Amino acid sequence: MTLTPSILLSAYCQGCFPMAEEDGTVYWYDPDPRTIIPLDAFQVSRSLARRLRHGGFTVCYDTAFREVMTRCAEPAPGREQTWISNEFIEVYSRLYEAGFAHSVETWMEDELVGGVYGVSIGGLFAGESMFSRRADASKIALVHLVERLRQKGFSLFDVQFTTSHLQRFGAIEVSRDRYKQLLAQALTLDVRFA
């Protein structure tokens, strides 16, 4: 099946998301349990809060979407392979152009050093991936993303699977049924990321 923006949007609205295997085969996922970060329970460590106060980074929104995706697709220590294929970069870039995909970028001077991207539909933001080239750069992007989601009135921040990294920010697991309830509520909201 060829991925298209309309197929992706339909899938997210049903609680599914795609990932590609090494050979490029696309598989659809609807995990049970599902991991979310409750926006009202987002946690920032003291050390990260200090880092945020001391600055040194510039944070932007939607200025380098394709570059963030490309960086997320690069191999990293402990992750030599990635599910983000060239096909994914193309179709998600089309979603970005249509206003449904967004990125948060962390810069040091003129260098992109961290970022996160995902898909927004109604009050849902589905976080897809993040990368970091400097200590805390992706974490700072994530903090700014959550601030934006709160300000704009989003109700559901889907992060798909549990990792120890996400648990530090307050990520929790919910059943598939509960996720679908939260998703249905989120999709009724008339909110915009931009």
Instruction: Evaluate whether 111 touches 131 at the Cβ level (below 8 Å).
Output: no
| pLDDT band at 71; cut points 50, 70, 90 | very high
Q: Which residues pair with 108 in a beta bridge?
A: 111
Q: Which amino acid is at 38?
A: P
161 three-state secondary structure: coil
| pLDDT band at 5; cut points 50, 70, 90 | very high
User: Is 162 buried (19+), middle (13-18) or exposed (0-12) by CB count in 10 A?
Assistant: middle
Q: Summarize pLDDT for 159-181 with one digit per residue, the tens.
A: 999 988 889 999 999 999 999 99
pTM of the model: 0.94
Q: Is the pLDDT of residue 183 over 90?
A: yes
CA distance 177 to 78: 32
Q: Summarize pLDDT for 9-64 with one digit per residue, the tens.
A: 999 999 999 988 877 788 999 999 999 999 999 989 888 888 888 888 999 999 99
CA distance 105 to 97: 17
Domains, the chain, in order of start with CATH, read 5-187 (3.40.630.70)
Mean pLDDT of 128-154: 96
Which is nearest to 71 in space by CA: 114, 108, 100, 104? 114
Which is nearest to 101 in space by CA: 133, 156, 64, 131? 64
